[in-house]
A and B are shown apart, each in its own frame.
Chain A
Amino acid sequence: MKLKRYLIYWLKTSELTFESLIADKLSSTLFISGKLLRFGFMLGFLLAIKEKIKLVSGYNIDQLVIFFLIYNLFDLVGQLFYRGVYWFRSDILSGDLDFKLVKPINPLFQILTSHTDWLDIPQLFIVVVILIIRLPHVAWQNVLVFSLLSLISMLILTAVHIFVAALGVITTEVDHTIWIFRSLSGMAQVPIDIYSPSVRGFLTFVIPIGLIFTFPAKALYGLLTLALIFWTIGFALVFYYLSLKFWYYSLKTYASASS
């Protein structure tokens, strides 16, 4: 019953977002073109250096392309569902968060899913098609682990967005925080193994970008040990739990200013 209510809410807000996007077709076209260009340029760059570079930290360019595609897959899914956090700052400044807090739907759900980004769908479709074409033969066990780690990846991604929203409530700063995360996550367009051990440690244990983007891709190639898989699951659960704790703490500091 509760799930049905959430589904109806999400479908309704998504429908409204979609209507606002098609009401301004030129803007939507420009946004989609920009996203496709960014994706195409990076893919083109990787393919252009194929002849000039043999290996990067043990990975060949074809493998780097797969890592790049999987990065895009999770990045796009994250933006598709959680774009709402980009609008959250105005809610805090204006005090409109009050309206979300009094509704019989989890305020976090309302905040994160308030703007389903349909403009990411064309790129997502292209990424999936290229991924299917370019992916080498993968053992079914690896596909299974990839599927499991994809769910874990989404859980961590959700937790990151919760952390950003909570920080927003405390500091009224959201835009830069989410963009800092986006800039950092850009480092995972390539496997984080190519970086020095300290950077790799930071991107795994502090800001778990490696777990979100690199680990699922490594699972496809069977490059993860069982211990690492269990460790990732454990980390994700703790990280998610902490994000919720932080969110509830942040609400205690919310002053409902301007409302």
Chain B
Amino acid sequence: MKKYWLIFRLSWQNALTYRLNFVMWRVRSIIGFLASYLFWLAIVNSNQNIAGYNPSLLLTYIFVSAFLRNLVLSNVSYGACVEIAGGDLSNYLIKPLGYFKYWLTRDLADKALNLSFFSVEIIIFYLILKPQIVLTQHLWLFLAISFLAALLYFFLSFLISTYAFWHPEHNGWPFRFLFIMLLDFLSGSSIPLDIFPPQIVKIFQVLPFSYLVFYPNQIWLNRVNTNQIINIFLITSFWLIAFYLIFRLVWRRGLKNYSAYGR
């Protein structure tokens, strides 16, 4: 446990050593949030009700999405992809260190760092923008589902990294690029998914992406009843276990295929 705590601290030190890099990353994050917020603000200024969302619900959705982006979707474990592709994985395989736990720790450190900065930023923007925020009646359930969603995203992301075992070209980035494009939209991080026609929403419901941002957001907004909340928890847990098992299987096969290119 001590060594992972050390990794956690080193991750923070590493991020804060390259301060300009970190500041620029935060600026990008803020711009992403502002772009989304201002776009929806313009829409709600001209339309008071969009698919059951009044202005305060919609703007709260954007604020909560920003939080979930920092908690769930912020992730550094894509670095595993680079290490597999470049052969650096070998360095870790011979160390008394769990590679999976190593990246989980680094991911947790990154999320903690992002969230600490995000907390200050969001308070500032709340004071400047003064939106009418809808408060949740299910704070603990929201935090619990957000934690599960973060874990689900970690498994998903790590699974994507294993692509580099078979295709190390471009550090395995092409497959991740496709994944990010899908995730950006299907997670509902900038667009509430239930704005789409019901037939399309049904497709979103069976995909794991919507359980990363959209459904946790629905819990915050009090837009789901008790039965639906139970369903959300069950489906998220199902995807979590499924991706964990798939990841273990693919990882074992990937290691057999691993030839430490570049070493």
Hey, which bits of chain A sit against chain B, CB under 8 A? 24, 26-28, 30-31, 33-35, 37-38, 41-42, 45, 48-49, 52-57, 171, 173, 176-177, 179-180, 183-184, 186-187, 190, 194-196, 199
Hey, which bits of chain B sit against chain A, CB under 8 A? 20-21, 24-25, 27-28, 31-32, 35, 38-39, 42-43, 45-47, 50-51, 167, 169-170, 174-175, 177-178, 180-182, 184-185, 191, 195-197, 200
Contact B38 A195 (CB under 8 A): yes
Measured CA separation A173–B24 after assembly (Å):
9
Contact B20 A183 (CB under 8 A): no
Contact A176 B27 (CB under 8 A): yes
Contact B24 A176 (CB under 8 A): yes
Given contacts A34-B181, A176-B21, A176-B24, contact A56 B46 (CB under 8 A): yes
Besides the contacts A180-B27, A180-B31, what 16 more A-B pairs have beta carbons closer than 8 Å? A26-B174, A30-B178, A31-B174, A31-B178, A34-B180, A41-B185, A48-B195, A57-B42, A57-B45, A176-B24, A176-B25, A179-B28, A180-B24, A184-B35, A187-B38, A194-B42
> From DSSP, what is the main secondary structure of chain A's interface residues?
helix
Measured CA separation A176–B200 after assembly (Å):
35
Contact B35 A186 (CB under 8 A): yes
Measured CA separation A131–B235 after assembly (Å):
41
Partner of A183, one of B35, B47, B51, B182: B35
User: What chain B residues lie within 8 Å of A38 (beta carbons)?
Assistant: 181, 184-185
Contact B28 A53 (CB under 8 A): no
Contact A180 B174 (CB under 8 A): no
Given contacts A45-B191, A177-B24, contact A53 B196 (CB under 8 A): no
Closest to A172 in B: B20
Contact A53 B47 (CB under 8 A): yes
Given contacts A57-B45, A183-B35, A190-B39, contact A52 B24 (CB under 8 A): no
User: What chain B residues lie within 8 Å of A195 (beta carbons)?
Assistant: 38, 42
Contact B21 A53 (CB under 8 A): no
Given contacts A26-B167, A33-B178, contact A199 B24 (CB under 8 A): no
Contact A53 B42 (CB under 8 A): no
